[in-house]
Amino acid sequence: MITVALSLALLSVQKEAPIRQPIVPAGSNRSFQEAVIAVEESLQTGDFVEAKKRLAALPTHPIKIELDDSKIPTEMKATVREAVRKASIMWQQNAAVEATLVPKGGHLKISFDKQLPNGELGLPAGAGNLFSSDPAEPRLTTVIGLNRGNPVSPAMPNEIQNEIAHAIALYLGVDRSLRPGSVSFRTDFSASGLIPVTARELLISKKCNDVVVTLQQAVEKKVKLSAAKPKIFLEVKEVTLPSVLQGEPQAFDLQVTNNGKSPLSLFVEPDCGCLDPFAPAFVEAGETALVKVRVNTVEFAGHLKKWLYVHSNDPEFPSIDIPVSVNIDPLFQLVRPGPSILQMGDENVSAEAFLWFGEGAKIKILDARVDGITSQVEIEPWEGEMADPALGQGPHPRKGYKLKMLFQSTFIPGRSMASIVVTTDHPIFKTIRGNLAFQRGIVALPERLYLGEIERAANRSMFLVSRPSKGFKITKIETNSPFLKAVAYPVSDDTEYRVNVELTGGQDPGQFSGMVTVFTDDPTQPRIEVQVGAIVR
């Protein structure tokens, strides 16, 4: 009985746990942070009615998505609805985020336009996002362009799905990332792949939701909370480091001070793997902390102009960009002049590469070979003028080695990769590698197009048809199915074309297999065939 009584008492204490001031996570967007401050300011004065009104400017669950498809062509409406469903599932599977489609009164409104004005990259914007604190309006309105890219072409289903998944991230409070590879990053460039929801985005969205729940409890129980206003101060606005030899250690510190009256949450993100920052999670009010940053001088060389993105919960400066400049003098340079892709014909092909070392470097070459293609490699001393476009260097007097390579033309039409491999006696750079690309004839990339498991609705994808060093014309395109359409757009003069492929939605459920045939003016390759496959639900 005593044990039961104690358990009940403990449960009672747990239920009556005090509501503590929430800490907004670093990496949340300005709109979320400002909405939190607005609620807290009302709670601070005891105006719980106003605080409840201001809660409407914060994300809620489940998310009501209002879809305005009035400007979408009839044949695309099913595809767009499927993209909304898939984007919602991406978040639901990872973060238990529920989303439902509603005709009116949505928290997140998604609409479309034929083509949006040019964005920051000089391309038609893929999407625009606008927040509102007015309870009568959607918290976030997203407008997606139905045509995008350069050349301008119809947005593909994956691109629409990426834009919707990004809008959901913004709605949940996650700030836009400037580093590719996550759903909080977006670009106006055309892209065919799906962008994933990362663990960091899941963590930020969960922490934002925890903040909202705490504020809701404070309003419901009429608990006063102060308006948390940390204030970030960075000692430097940009970092310029002295030159360092490749392979030698290089590091620096950023001093961060919190001049506010509440804890400052902190997250530092680089735009490049050449910078490796370590930052404390919090800086208490009135205190200073150091962000330690290591520069990777082994895998990177040349003059680097990179960025650190300092994210915090200071609503005035939720994200600060710090430019970082450093010159890493290369220990070695491996350069292959000429076109980036070697064109193979019926005859063997030869090419040259040049290798030289930095001043004072004592490195001995032990061997050289090419992996990935049948070849012969000869090494001989060399001296002359050579540029290195990869490092932005014009012609300079150089002294080193010439690698003379002879490749046997044994493979069928297509594109393949190989590697120049040079072994040395250096303790860090024991192996020096350079990439080689070979192509024979006109090539479709990819050679087979698989759309995956799709709904019985319009679905779009694309492939490239390319021959970099010699132009060609596409004379016509045919498909072997009435449900398969294909249109070509020139990408790079007459050496590369983008072929947009559409399954119209009339195909039967089950396994779909079709063929797109591209006809060219090259008599040796008059037709290029690309198989298109999908599983239709």
Tens-place pLDDT, residues 64-114: 999 998 999 887 888 888 888 888 888 887 666 777 778 888 899 999 999
Please give the residue that has the higher pLDDT: either 98 or 485. Answer: 485
Per-residue model confidence (pLDDT) at position 2: 45
160-169, pLDDT tens digit by residue?
999 999 999 9
- 323: tokens are 């430019």
List, edge to edge, every strand of the sheet that includes 443-445: 443-445, 459-466, 496-503, 484-492
User: Distance between CA 307 and CA 324 in Å, rounded?
Assistant: 6
Contacts of 171 (CB under 8 A, 6+ apart): 59, 63, 107, 108, 139, 140
pLDDT > 90 fraction of the chain, expressed in percent and rounded: 60
27, 495, 502 from 489: Cα distances, Å: 39, 11, 14
User: Distance between CA 398 and CA 319 in Å, rounded?
Assistant: 44
What's the chain's average pLDDT?
Answer: 89
User: Distance between CA 43 and CA 305 in Å, rounded?
Assistant: 45
Q: Which of 253-262, 407-416, 516-525 has the lowest mean pLDDT?
A: 407-416
Other C-beta atoms lying within 10 Å of the C-beta of residue 9: 10
* Closest listed residue to residue 243, CA positions, set 362, 359, 70, 379: 359
436-460, pLDDT tens digit by residue?
988 888 999 999 999 888 877 778 8
160-212, pLDDT tens digit by residue?
999 999 999 999 999 998 888 899 999 888 776 788 899 999 999 999 999 99
User: Distance between CA 10 and CA 5 in Å, rounded?
Assistant: 9
Tokens 């962000």 map to which residue?
291
- 458: tokens are 């319009």
Beta bridge mates, 479: 516
Q: Contact at 8 Å (CB) between 139 and 108?
A: yes
- 19: tokens are 């509501």
The arithmetic mean of pLDDT across residues 106-135, rounded, is 90
- 535: tokens are 């599983």
User: Distance between CA 291 and CA 324 in Å, rounded?
Assistant: 14
Q: What is the dihedral of CA 75, 76, 77, 83, to 10 degrees?
A: 150
Number of H helices, E strands in the chain: 6, 33
Is residue 14 over pLDDT 70?
no
Per-residue model confidence (pLDDT) at position 426: 92
Assign 214 to helix, strand or coil: helix
90, 314, 465, 478, 528 from 525: Cα distances, Å: 42, 61, 12, 16, 7
Is residue 1 over pLDDT 60?
no
Other C-beta atoms lying within 10 Å of the C-beta of residue 470: 11
Question: Angle 47-53-58 (CA atoms, 0-180°, nearest 5)?
Answer: 115
Is residue 473 over pLDDT 60?
yes
Length of the chain: 537
Beta bridge mates, 433: 421
- 214: tokens are 């705490």
Is residue 505 over pLDDT 50?
yes
In this prediction, residue 228 has a pLDDT band, given cuts at 50, 70 and 90, of confident
98, 148, 229, 266, 478 from 28: Cα distances, Å: 20, 28, 15, 11, 49
Q: Which of 283-297, 399-413, 517-531 has the lowest mean pLDDT?
A: 399-413
**Backbone dihedral angles phi then psi of residue 85, each to the nearest 5 degrees:** -60, -45
* Closest listed residue to residue 225, CA positions, set 60, 383, 479, 21: 21
19, 316, 474 from 290: Cα distances, Å: 31, 21, 59
* Closest listed residue to residue 233, CA positions, set 178, 169, 310: 310
Other C-beta atoms lying within 10 Å of the C-beta of residue 327: 14
371-414, pLDDT tens digit by residue?
988 889 999 999 999 998 888 888 989 999 999 999 887 666 78
Prediction pTM value:
0.80
**DSSP code per residue over 232-292:** EEES-S-EEPPPEETTS-EEEEEEEEE-SSSPEEEEEEESSTTEEEE--SEE-TT-EEEEE
Per-residue model confidence (pLDDT) at position 96: 64
Question: Angle 136-138-141 (CA atoms, 0-180°, nearest 5)?
Answer: 145
Please give the residue that has the higher pLDDT: either 310 or 122. Answer: 310
The arithmetic mean of pLDDT across residues 307-325, rounded, is 95
Q: Contact at 8 Å (CB) between 211 and 22?
A: yes
User: Distance between CA 306 and CA 169 in Å, rounded?
Assistant: 26
- 336: tokens are 């292959």
336-353, pLDDT tens digit by residue?
998 888 888 777 888 999
The H or E element that residue 516 is part of is strand 510-520
* Closest listed residue to residue 109, CA positions, set 71, 69, 138: 138
